[in-house]
Amino acid sequence: MQASARGKARGGAQAAPARTSASIPPVLDLTRLAASRPVFDAHADSLQLALDLGRDLGVAGPGHLDLVRGRAGGLGALVFVAWCDPKFIAAGEHGARERTRGLLREFHRLARRHPEQLGFAGNAAALDAAARRGAVAGIPGIEGGHSIEESLDELEWFFARGVRVMTLVWNNHLRWIRSCQDGAGADIPEGLSAFGRAVVRRMNELGMVVDLSHAGRRSFFDALDATTKPLIASHSGCMAINPHPRNLDDEQLRALARNGGVVGIVFCTPFLDGAARAEEQRWRETSEYAALRGANDTELFLAQCEFLQRSATPLPLERVLDHLCHAVEVAGVEHVGIGSDFDGIQRTPQGLEDASTYLALAAGLERRGFSLADVEAVLGGNLRRVYAAVTAAGTAAATSTLVPVD
């Protein structure tokens, strides 16, 4: 959209005319844009490669993301997510907590090993400091509230050691929050329980970003009711483009805008496109897919990613742009960002194969009529604004010092 798109934000006012990718001749200097490192990616799962495969994310290697490719692609800030597969809940006492701590430990090790490439950004001032010295601002996150084991003390333990974002729930329902998936039992609330609301309030006080991706619809609105700070949906798509349960409908997009929050449009192909989802499922039912092997779940996951990326029909970058543009038209350009889900998804769209390619989105948005200011807002400026608001003066994040994880 042109600069006038910036005025459509909070009320979901009349949308600007749709534009095709061929509408506007390109004028962006992508080299200069990359040098400014404008990208704030709200969600990537790459820490599991470090923990399970011994990958040094400070050097180029397998998977979707490392600091080398990210910096080349304009990455300035990244939420390094600690995703704990619910299978660890059944791994014995504190299984989920210990798995999450192990992933967080990998972030600390990476920051110590490559201080010139990565700096912990516990608040907006630290994020800006990392940018000034050319490092990626690293923000640890947790994907799934099962990692705090129904304890505000555990939440505070993770905060003290750098966690500044928590996705309240993953696909598994919890006794204090319902996810967007079916199958909730009688002991699962319709939305947030009293404890769930207490989690949101405590995160506000600490200076932690509340993430609503994966949340059920009632949970989503309950969290908006409970919060005093802007929220995000870090890695979701638009239900109007593809009716997947992980996507947000227009009412949710408008509510997030009224809150001052941001939706991070995901790169996950099944969330973006129904036909892509169906084709990938057909490939998963083949003997070739079933024959794939790995030394552990993460190595197997990488093999599955490579198989689907080369086997399935490429999903054009235009589909990501469709979701971005719809979110802008409904919520306003101030309330849209990106959350790749790199290294947590099995296939990426064409042109977004890894973290060196973020700026393909900039070129695509420009072709659809976005101004440079609006491109920069979507690539990262909007998420920077939310992060500054959540970690502002008056929160613990504004003044806390990082407790190391050895």
Which has more pLDDT, 16 or 246? 246
Residue 17 confidence (pLDDT): 36
**Short-list 267, 241, 207, 252, CA closest to 393:** 207
Phi, psi angle pair for 235, to nearest 5°: -150, 80
What is the token pair recorded at 273? 């496109």
At 132-144, the pLDDT tens digits run: 999 999 999 999 9
- pLDDT > 90 in the chain, percent: 90
Q: What pLDDT is attached to residue 86?
A: 85
**Cα(281)–Cα(271) distance, integer angstroms:** 13
> Do 194 and 150 touch, CB atoms closer than 8 A?
no
Residues 6+ apart with CB under 8 A from 356: 69, 70, 72, 73
Residue 341: pLDDT above 70? Answer: yes
- Asked whether residue 166 carries a pLDDT value surpassing 60, the answer given is yes
3-49, pLDDT tens digit by residue? 333 333 333 333 433 444 444 455 789 999 999 999 999 999 999 99
What band does 92 get if pLDDT is binned at 50, 70 and 90?
low
pLDDT score for 7: 36
Taking only the tens place, the pLDDT of each residue in 342-357 is 999 999 999 999 999 9
At 90 the pLDDT is 75
pLDDT at 87: 87
Length of the chain as a residue count: 406
Cα distances from 17 to residues 211, 248, 380, in angstroms, run 31, 22, 24
d(CA 175, CA 173): 7
Q: What Cα–Cα distance (Å) separates residue 392 from each residue in 47, 268, 291, 400?
A: 27, 32, 51, 12
Q: How many whole angstroms separate alpha carbon 142 and alpha carbon 158?
A: 9
> What is the Cα Rg of the chain in Å?
20
Q: What is the pTM of this model?
A: 0.93
Q: Which of 143, 162, 252, 151 is nearest to 208 (CA)?
A: 162
Instruction: Work out the average pLDDT over 51-77.
Output: 97
What are the C-alpha distances in Å from 111 to residues 119, 175, 191, 271?
6, 35, 37, 32
Out of 3.20.20.140, 3.40.640.10, 3.30.750.200, 3.40.1190.10, the CATH code matching 3-284+313-397 is 3.20.20.140
Q: Which residues pair with 209 in a beta bridge?
A: 165
Query: CA 135, CA 236: separation in Å to the nearest integer?
Result: 27
First to last CA, the chain: 47
The pair of structure tokens assigned to 335 is 């309330």
Give the pLDDT confidence score for residue 265 in this predicted structure.
99
274-310 pLDDT, tens digit each: 999 999 999 999 999 999 999 999 999 999 999 999 9
Q: What local confidence, expressed as pLDDT, does residue 28 receive?
A: 86
With the CA atoms of 108, 112, 113 and 114 taken in that order, what torsion angle do they form, in degrees rounded to the nearest 10? 100
In this model, does residue 111 exceed pLDDT 90?
yes
Do residues 189 and 196 touch, judged by C-beta distance below 8 A?
yes
Domain range summary for the chain, segments of one domain joined by +: 3-284+313-397
Q: CA-CA distance, 80 to 341, in Å (whole number)?
A: 10
In degrees and rounded to multiples of 5, residue 359 shows phi and psi of: -75, 0
- Section 153-168 average pLDDT: 98
CA distances to 129, 141, 257, 267 from 115, in Å: 13, 19, 36, 28
pLDDT in the model for residue 89: 82
